Structure 1
Amino acid sequence: MKKKSFTVEEAKIKLMRYCAYQERCHQEVNKKLDELHIIPLAKEHIIVELIQQDFLNEERFAKIFTISKFNQKNWGKKRIINELKRREISAINIKTSLNQIDESEYLAKLSRLVEKKWNATAESNLANKKKKVMNYFLYRGWETHLVYEQIQNQGDIK
């Protein structure tokens, strides 16, 4: 089976569309270029042009990723950090993106989510219920001490 080959210009246009559709990180663009079987020298040229024309911006990607995962998926900071690291985002961009999350909003959201999950968890044994709720939030990247504190509050109320 013959692989379709692309000129540098065709690949660049394809990647511009790819980046315009949604924010992309450098890793995703590199992977796409690999799928298009672009040689390393041409890859560099295309990536430089995407950056110069503002199709590719790691800081902007990190900020949008952070806010969307926090607001839509209810992820905690630890999960967001791990996912950004997995995408090879720089530490400074990770820190900058996390600074967008207001601390009081972060804690208020966790409180609402824990209360909702607590009420939705059908478990008669209090210790098992606490464990289930705790595991749910730890998987989503919320800090252990914050979750523990919220669960203790729920356990005291109920």
Structure 2
Amino acid sequence: MEKKSFTFDEIKLKLVNYCVYQDRCHAEVEQKMREFLLIDEAKEEIMLYLLRENYLNEERFTRSYIRGKFYIKHWGRNKIRISLKQKQVPEKLINKSFDEIDEADYEKTIRKIFEDYYEKQKDLKEYQRKSKTIKYLISKGFEYDIILNIIEN
């Protein structure tokens, strides 16, 4: 199947729509651009346009990504951080953006996930239920020391 060819303006519009549909990080936009056979100058021009017109904003992307993964998917900070690093978001920006998660909400979420998951582990000894639940929380990206602190209080 041959690739349909688009004009520069059509490609630019496609990328604007790609960014409008959902916040994107730089790496995602660069990946999307690879679908079109563009010379480097054209890629650069589109990138600058997207940034200048605020279609592409890495901080806005990072903040909305953190909110979504925590408040909707209930991921912990570790899992969110790893995922953002895979999207080549700078560490400094990740750290700065974690204030999107309210500390009280974070603890409440850990407590709720702990209780729900713990309840389902019926046929195990107490310490097995507890350790299995802690492992589950760690796999969701929550920090071990915070988990312990919350369930022991």
Fold shared per TM-score above 0.5: yes
How far did residue 104 of structure 1 move?
2.1
For the residues of structure 2 that align with 1:115 and 1:108, how far apart are their CA atoms? 11
CA RMSD of aligned residues (A): 1.5
For the residues of structure 2 that align with 1:67 and 1:117, how far apart are their CA atoms? 23
Secondary structure, aligned partner of 1:65: helix
How far did residue 36 of structure 1 move?
1.9
The superposition leaves residues 45-83 of structure 1 with CA deviations (integer Å, 9 ceiling, x where unpaired) of 101100111110000000000011100110111111111
Counterpart position of 1:65: 65
In the alignment, is the contact (CA less than 8 A) between 1:25 and 1:56 conserved in 2?
yes
How far did residue 43 of structure 1 move?
0.9
The superposition leaves residues 82-134 of structure 1 with CA deviations (integer Å, 9 ceiling, x where unpaired) of 11111111122211210121222211221122111111223322233223212
What's the % identity of the aligned pairs? 36
In the alignment, is the contact (CA less than 8 A) between 2:107 and 2:150 conserved in 1?
no
Counterpart position of 1:38: 38
User: Is 1:16 equivalent to 2:1 in the alignment?
Assistant: no
For the residues of structure 2 that align with 1:50 and 1:100, how far apart are their CA atoms? 24
The superposition leaves residues 24-45 of structure 1 with CA deviations (integer Å, 9 ceiling, x where unpaired) of 1111111110012222221111
Residue identity opposite 1:119 in structure 2? E
Equivalent residues, number: 153
**Taking structure 2 as the reference length, what is the TM-score of the superposition?**
0.91
Residues 40, 121 of structure 1: alpha-carbon distance in 2 compared, 3 angstrom cutoff? farther
How far did residue 151 of structure 1 move?
4.5
Question: Which ranges in structure 1 are unaligned for 5 or more consecutive residues?
Answer: 154-158
In the alignment, is the contact (CA less than 8 A) between 2:78 and 2:143 conserved in 1?
yes
User: Is 1:82 equivalent to 2:86 in the alignment?
Assistant: no
Residues 128, 45 of structure 1: alpha-carbon distance in 2 compared, 3 angstrom cutoff? same
Residue identity opposite 2:46 in structure 1? I
